[in-house]
Structure 1
Amino acid sequence: MEAPKPTAVPDIKTLRDAIPAKCFERSMLRSLSYVARDLVAVSVLFYSAVQLMKLDLPLALAIPAWGLYSFVTGLFFTGLWILAHECGHDSFSADLTVNATVGWALHSMLMVPFFSWKFSHSRHHRYHNHMEKDTVFVPHRKPEAVRKSEPSIMEKIIDHTAADAPIFSILSLAVHQLFGWPMYILLNAGAGVNSLTRGNRKNTPKYKQSHLDPTCSVFTQSEMPFVALSNVGLLITLTALIRVSQSIGVANTCLMYGLPYLWMNHWIVAITYLHHTHEDAAHYEAEDWTFVKGALSTVDREFGFIGRHIFHGIIEYHVVHHMFPRIPFYHCEEATWAVAPMLGDKYIEQRTNFFIDLWEAFTQCKYVESDKKGSLMWAKS
């Protein structure tokens, strides 16, 4: 019996025509309602943190109380981060000024340089899973992995080539989750060799790839003023945090804002990593890459109530977002099921435990190698 033939990849127009027109409609009022909901939740949580500070609990009670607070607040921080992400794609509303203003305000509150991230993230969408031009989680090819027989600890963390020892893998994963985002912002970690707007990453010092430097090689000249504006937003938030720490103390400020911030970093790195790391998610050399191939090499996963209602479905319906990033998140489910039947075996979804998926991807997907069909596939350990 012959094996079934792989599904032919539809062109982007065919896929777009299959999606109901209403899925492309952006409602400013609806989007702002989600912002209001999440801001109210964070405000209530901040108020609860202030009350918690006044209780002077014994350590046995304080640790779980602050742990629960930081976890829940980190979820809503991430929700706001994702709404700013909508602004960065102009899927928040049809008004570009509103998108820029809301996105800048929300990301600045979360110590994220909005325009700096927006510009490099747009190049990620333009070149997703391109081995040279993608800007996030570009994997090693097999020869590189073999050649780096004794990589540094930082290389193992950034390039997800951790040793096989479980304890080292656990520690590496923890650092990967907590510091992967700052390393990307400060050093452009994980980007492809030809992902810069000027020059080559191999020949460009790491400090000239910082998202905080308006003159760095990540950005074009026309983008530089907006990168500076992003830094202004960070300075405003940093100043506010300093003033708060003068009122309630540095330790309490770290508990109230710092711990949720670390949770947010974890979620953003985990979500992005799992969207682009899966045994069936191919990467492509320049001569084989196309926009649709790259979009179809992303993954829809599952995170239950939190994913669908606090993270605004970004985990569950990411493939269609890569194809049509201006579809608002609240229409992505309908759009997904409109195109999924056309994609057949090219549509990648994994509706299993999110944390187990993270562990398996981090420990098993070490590098990619050619499948001799024009794709680079993950070689599982």
Structure 2
Amino acid sequence: MAVALAYGIVHIPIESTVASVALWGIYGFAQGLVFTGIWILAHECGHGAFSAYPYLNNTVGWLCHSFLGVPYLSWKITHARHHRFTGHLSKDVAFVPRTAEEVSGQKGISLQALQELCEDTPVATTAKLIAHQLLGWQAHMIFNVSAGPESAVGGDWGRNKGWFSARASHFDPWSILFLPQQAKLVVISDIGLALTAYALYKMAQVTSWQTVALLWVVPYLWVHHWLVAITFLQHTHPDVPHYGDTTWTFTLGNLCTIDRDFGFVGRFFFHGAINDHVIHHLFPKIPFYHASDATAAIRPLLGEFYNTSQENFLVSLWRTFRECRWVKEETAAPAPHIYHWVRPSTERAA
């Protein structure tokens, strides 16, 4: 489908400037959906859920992710750590929130004043959300942004000391994200990216950089949007907590995931793989085409521990991004180190 879309947009004769802008815009959006579907298949390869053959999984995953600018094996290593420590406030790899106490201490303001920061104007929230959607993925790849402070195998990577205080890049073979024996896997990932960059360069020589930007870069940015939005919503919800050392368990942490219905887009373009995220975290080797049946089978057993949301995608993205900023330890909880999201409405009501 990706090839068909690219072939069609290049060969359809378009004389009107308005029509050209409109069609290229539609192409970028549609191709972004297709590219995201390819990204998801590579993700399945990383879990060994694409086929029963590890070599085939890694070959397909490396090719697909390299095409999309993703260091396949590097990401596979840290993503496995994400599955190992999902929901852990300091060891998880993605979308780990800061505590209200941590942020207020850095800013030198009270918790009450910090609470008022949650009430950004719509304009400020919109600007932050756009940056989150466009830059979030590469910020994580290059600087390990949103990872827990104890998520690196090389120790505390210094999340609070600035992005450049430690080598925490997925592209660096000697990054503290990897063990020494994993350096060669990072190099193999980087070779894939170099080949993609070279192919785009040669394509630009044959056509133009504008054509490359329209055919690949714009859909690539749409992939950023979908990838960040999907994973953010699958791991963040105003009612779903995070856990510290004394309370976290593998099962409890992985039940901090949320199933969300992405409608036709999720079922067709994304292969239905993103709608059933809870079962994916409990049993990551289940192929995506069996995830729906597995969810239906296990949902009654999970009972109140099963998290799902049928809220509209854009509404949920806005509300979750606005409300889920920092977490605070629940002092009235039955066990220590249970952290809930600090929200303006609940705090004022309290």
Q: CA shift at 1:163, angstroms? A: 6.2
2:217 pairs with one of 258, 275, 282: 258
Q: Which residue of 2 aligns with 1:285?
A: 244
Q: Which residue of 1 aligns with 2:339?
A: 376
Q: Which letter does structure 2 place at the counterpart of 1:145?
A: V
1:363 pairs with one of 318, 322, 339: 322
Matched, 1:106 2:64: yes
Matched, 1:306 2:306: no
Structure 2 distance, partners of 1:56, 1:290, is 61
Structure 1 distance, partners of 2:93, 2:21, is 38
SS in structure 1 opposite 2:328? strand
- Asked if 1 retains the 8 angstrom alpha-carbon contact of 2:46 and 2:76, the reply is yes
Structure 2 distance, partners of 1:330, 1:178, is 29
> TM-score by structure 1 length?
0.83
Structure 2 distance, partners of 1:209, 1:326, is 28
- Asked if 2 retains the 8 angstrom alpha-carbon contact of 1:70 and 1:255, the reply is yes
Task: Spell out the pairing of 1:1-381 with structure 2 (5 A cutoff).
Answer: 41-52=1-12, 55-58=14-17, 60-149=18-107, 164-202=120-158, 205-206=164-165, 208-372=167-331, 373=333, 374=335, 375-381=338-344
Structure 1 distance, partners of 2:230, 2:284, is 16
Q: CA shift at 1:283, angstroms? A: 0.4
Q: How many residues align?
A: 330
| Residues 206/81 of structure 1: CA separation in 2 closer, same or farther (3 Å cut) | farther
Q: CA shift at 1:147, angstroms? A: 2.8
- Asked if 2 retains the 8 angstrom alpha-carbon contact of 1:186 and 1:207, the reply is no
Post-superposition Cα deviations, 1:115-151, rounded to whole Å, max 9, x if no partner, equal 0110000000000010111000100112123234489
Q: CA shift at 1:315, angstroms? A: 2.7
- Asked if 2 retains the 8 angstrom alpha-carbon contact of 1:187 and 1:206, the reply is no
> TM-score by structure 2 length?
0.91
- Asked if 2 retains the 8 angstrom alpha-carbon contact of 1:280 and 1:348, the reply is no
Q: Which letter does structure 1 place at the counterpart of 2:141?
A: I
Worse overlay, 140-149 or 317-326: 140-149
Runs of 5+ in structure 2 lacking a partner?
A: 110-116, 345-350
Q: Which letter does structure 2 place at the counterpart of 1:380?
A: R
Structure 2 distance, partners of 1:206, 1:350, is 38
| Residues 126/149 of structure 1: CA separation in 2 closer, same or farther (3 Å cut) | same
- Asked if 2 retains the 8 angstrom alpha-carbon contact of 1:162 and 1:169, the reply is no
- Asked if 1 retains the 8 angstrom alpha-carbon contact of 2:266 and 2:273, the reply is yes
Runs of 5+ in structure 1 lacking a partner?
A: 1-40, 152-160
Q: CA shift at 1:56, angstroms? A: 4.5
SS in structure 1 opposite 2:78? helix
